[in-house]
Amino acid sequence: MSIILFIASIPSGAFAYGFSATATPLLLIKYTNMQISPILNFIEIFQNTANVILNSKNYTRKSLIVTTFGIPGIIMGSIIGAYILKISLNDSLIKVIVYSVLIPLILLQAAGFRKEISLDKWKKIGYLVTFPVGVLYGVSTISGPPLALIINNQGLSKEEFKFAISTLRVAESITTFSAYLTLGVFNPQVFYYAAITSPAVITGMLVGIFTARIIKQKEDFRRLVMSFDSWVSGYGLSFNLGKVIGYDVLYWPMIVVIGIDLYLLSKYVVKRKKIVKEID
């Protein structure tokens, strides 16, 4: 588990999100949502708080509006998601739902999907947009891909983006933690696993921060992380869908996901080469 959390903490340190989106697909292969969600949530409280502190100087009026009108939806959704996790009976089905939601969001990010929402419109619908993200987080502690997709469409700079996503993730992690405590989802093992894996998490975040500072093409690194997440999620979907339907593993969902990602990756590489040639 420590190795997985170390790897997952690297994108979190570099981009202020990506921890659960990387760790959850890997951990769900062996563990259940009920086992890992409280542990990842507890770790993320400290991770997200650290990211807010590190990016606090990047706040602007625009980023504050995005977070202020997005937090209510995140809070309501997180509470409902925690309750769904508590009452869920079919763990394989929950995993299939989580993967089925996560994979399209990762691939949309990989495709560079953009559809800017004006701030005036965001003030009216922000909480509706972030509500399902909160539900997803309460069930799985995953919210990075959908939040990144939403915030990227607000026209924020990279610095504003990091502050906004960190603030929203602090709100959802603290709310979910409170809901988990109230519903009895937490147990003493959560604190044990959080303690023994903390060195790996901290080291991974430091590696991510350092990597983000030395790599010139940060988008290339982010794109590789998305490919890794989509491939792992594709396997997780195949593995658990097989359990739901009655087969050992159904490989076709994984093959489809990998095929789509390779297509998007090839388009990204071609576009990158054109940009480099124009600069030269």
DSSP notation for 30-44 = TS-HHHHHHHHHHHH
Please tell me the predicted confidence (pLDDT) of residue 237: 85
**Tens of pLDDT, residues 86-109:** 887 677 788 788 888 888 888 887
Question: Which of the residue ranges 118-122, 178-182, 246-250 has the most confident prediction, judged by mean pLDDT?
Answer: 178-182
Percent of the chain whose predicted confidence (pLDDT) is above 90: 14
Q: Which residues of 65-96 are buried (b: 16+ CB within 10 A; e: fewer)?
A: bbbebbbbbbbbbbbbbbbbbbebeebbebbb
Amino acid at 40: L
pLDDT at site 73: 93
Q: Is the pTM of this model over 0.85?
A: no
Round to whole Å and give the CA distance between 9 and 22. Answer: 8
pLDDT on residue 77: 93
Over 60: is that where the pLDDT of 243 sits? yes
pLDDT, residue 256, reads 93
* Closest residue by Cα to residue 177 from 49, 27, 16, 269: 49
- Kindly report, residue by residue over 207-235, the tens digit of the pLDDT: 888 877 777 676 777 777 788 878 888 88
CA–CA separation, 181 and 275 (whole Å): 50
C-alpha torsion angle, residues 195, 11, 98, 153 (rounded to 10): 140
**What are the φ/ψ torsions at residue 168 (nearest 5 degrees)?**
-65, -40
Quickly state the pLDDT bin for 48 (edges 50, 70, 90): confident
Distances (CA, A) of 270 to 111, 273, 276: 13, 5, 10
Higher per-residue confidence, 20 vs 177: 177
Q: Is the pLDDT of residue 239 over 60?
A: yes
